[in-house]
Copies of this chain bind each other. A is one copy, B any other.
C-alpha cells in the first residue's frame, strides 16, 4: 500500500474508533445506513460508488473522495472511466473542483500504481 493511502486509512480508522467509543446511537446508525446505501440493488455496487464519488467531488470533500476512489478501484473502475467521472464533476461544479481533482488524481495514481 502506498504511504498516501496508508496514512489516509490509518487516521480514518483511528478516529472512527474514538467516535464509536462514545456510543452515540445516531452516529452508529448513520454509519450502518451509509454502508447499506452502497450495497448492490437495482443499481450495482460500481455504479453506486461512482455516484458517491461524483457527489463527494462536487461537494469538495477530499477525504470522502479518497474513500470512494479506494472503493471504486477495488470494484474495477478503470482510469478512462474515472477521468470521465472527473469531467462530469468539473463541469457541474466548476473550476473550484479543479484543486480537488488534482488531489484525486494523485491519490488515484497511488492506488493504480501500487
Contact = CB atoms under 8 A, between A and B. Distances in A.
Interface residues of A, number: 64
Contacts of A25: 36
What is the copy number of this chain in the assembly?
6
Which secondary structure dominates chain A's binding surface? helix
A1 interface: no
Contacts of A19: 83, 86, 101-102, 105
A95 interface: yes
Interface of A: 11-12, 15-16, 18-19, 22, 24-27, 29-30, 33-34, 36-38, 41-43, 47-48, 50-52, 54-64, 78-81, 83-99, 101-103, 105-106, 109
